[in-house]
């Protein structure tokens, strides 16, 4: 999701293009007012990925966003409560064949009829009500999300709705926090669901630059073998056998790999004896010893280099392999 003020067209265009460069495939923008809705038209002229308008409270902003060319709408039915207003939006979306995501958030649910109902069930019930409303208007370009901060609640809700509907599901753990904890929460929640075959699109929500969200999302997909995207760094945790600063070297290699878009596995290992064997999965790697290191390819040592040349030699081998 873009984190710029949507009314600032230049900043929003720059951020969406930056997001596209780091692999984002759909961008959402906040639409807090009419000026933001109208800005979508100009934003679309200078960006290449689909733009989803995020609407809260005012259905008229959804209508304006559609007129401005939004490729999708995200509506939170918890805060557009008048069925006539939802109806008007659905009619306009149907005319333009624009999909609507019913975006349920645990934090903004309408009151439950039974106070004893669990949050996940309540989320599912609200989503099903909204789906029914959209279907009754002969609209089926529907996508659903059921996000909560709490991972077990989110997982329960998605499992339950996946058993009831066949519409695409957009996965996410909402307000997951700063990158360290947020990446873990997102990986656990989204990862469990994807591994069960649930989910069609994902968004990682972090209190960080949005490219960090995209990078984390790709790490989840790569970890599950669902997508290949850019390099994967395999690095040993280091231990008493390491004779060089493995953590520092792994960080430098990680930075150097950022400009590479091809999928390649690169290993940084702390000892010559165990390194190549332990990192057999890597395409290329380095196993470091005292003052020198062995560059290896697919587990086989291909050269030996001095410590001062570790980074340079490893990156040269990466480039050789990619060219
Ligand atoms: Fe320790 Fe070597 Fe394993 Fe790294 S590869 S953790 S240095 S034994």
Domains plus CATH for the chain? 9-223 (3.20.20.20), 231-322 (3.30.413.10)
Return the DSSP state at 138.
Answer: T
Position 57 scores a pLDDT of 87
Instruction: Decide: 171 and 193 in contact? Cβ < 8 Å.
Output: yes
CA distance 238 to 257: 20
Nearest 5°: CA angle at 124, between 118 and 128?
145
- Answer whether 160's CB lies under 8 Å from 120's CB: yes
170-171/142-147 β-pairing? unpaired
Q: Which residues line ligand 1 (CB under 6 A)?
A: 236-239, 241-242, 269-271, 274-275, 278
Output the pTM of the full model: 0.92
**Per-residue pLDDT tens digits of the chain, which is 323 residues long:** 999 999 999 999 999 999 999 999 999 999 999 999 999 999 999 999 999 999 988 999 999 999 999 999 999 766 777 888 988 999 999 999 999 999 998 887 877 777 789 999 999 999 999 899 899 999 999 999 999 999 999 999 999 999 999 999 999 999 888 999 999 999 999 999 999 999 999 999 999 999 999 999 999 999 999 999 999 999 999 999 999 999 999 999 999 998 898 999 999 999 887 777 777 789 999 999 999 999 999 888 899 999 999 999 999 999 999 98
**Which ligand 1 atom is nearest residue 239's CA?**
1
Distance 237 CA to ligand 1 centre (A): 7
Atom 7 of ligand 1, residue of closest alpha carbon: 270
The DSSP 8-state label assigned to residue 169 in this structure reads B
CA 240 to centroid of ligand 1, rounded, Å = 8
Which residue, by CA, sits nearest to atom 6 of ligand 1?
238
Q: What confidence score (pLDDT) does residue 298 get?
A: 85
Could you give the count of Cα atoms lying within 13 Å of 23 in the half-sphere of its Cβ? 24
């Amino acid at each position: 999701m873009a984190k710029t003020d949507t009314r600032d067209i230049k900043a929003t265009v720059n951020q969406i293009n930056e997001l596209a460069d780091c692999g984002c495939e759909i961008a959402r923008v906040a639409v807090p007012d009419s000026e933001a809705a109208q800005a979508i038209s100009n934003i679309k002229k200078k960006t290449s990925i689909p733009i989803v308008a995020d609407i809260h409270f005012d259905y008229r902003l959804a209508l304006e966003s559609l007129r401005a060319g939004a490729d999708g709408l995200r509506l939170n039915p918890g805060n557009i409560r008048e069925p006539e207003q939802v109806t008007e939006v659905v009619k306009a979306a149907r005319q333009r064949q624009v999909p609507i995501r019913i975006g349920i958030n645990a934090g903004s649910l309408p009151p439950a009829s039974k106070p004893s109902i669990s949050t996940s069930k309540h989320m599912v019930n609200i989503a099903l009500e909204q789906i029914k409303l959209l279907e009754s208007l002969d609209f089926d370009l529907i996508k659903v999300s059921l996000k909560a901060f709490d991972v077990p609640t989110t997982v329960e809700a998605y499992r339950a709705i996946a058993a009831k509907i066949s519409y695409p599901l957009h996965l996410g753990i909402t307000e997951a926090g700063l990158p360290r904890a947020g990446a873990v929460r997102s990986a656990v929640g989204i990862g469990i669901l994807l591994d069960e075959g649930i989910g069609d699109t994902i968004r990682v929500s972090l209190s960080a630059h949005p490219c960090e969200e995209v990078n984390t999302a790709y790490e989840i997909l790569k970890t599950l073998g669902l997508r290949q995207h850019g390099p994967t760094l395999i690095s040993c945790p280091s231990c008493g056998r390491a004779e060089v600063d493995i953590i520092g070297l792994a960080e430098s290699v990680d930075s150097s790999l950022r400009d590479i878009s091809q999928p390649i596995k690169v290993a940084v290992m702390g000892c010559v004896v165990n390194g190549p064997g332990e990192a057999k999965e890597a395409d290329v790697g380095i196993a470091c010893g005292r003052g020198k290191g062995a560059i290896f390819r697919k587990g086989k040592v291909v050269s030996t280099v001095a410590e001062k040349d570790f980074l340079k030699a490893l990156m040269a081998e990466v480039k050789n392999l990619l060219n």
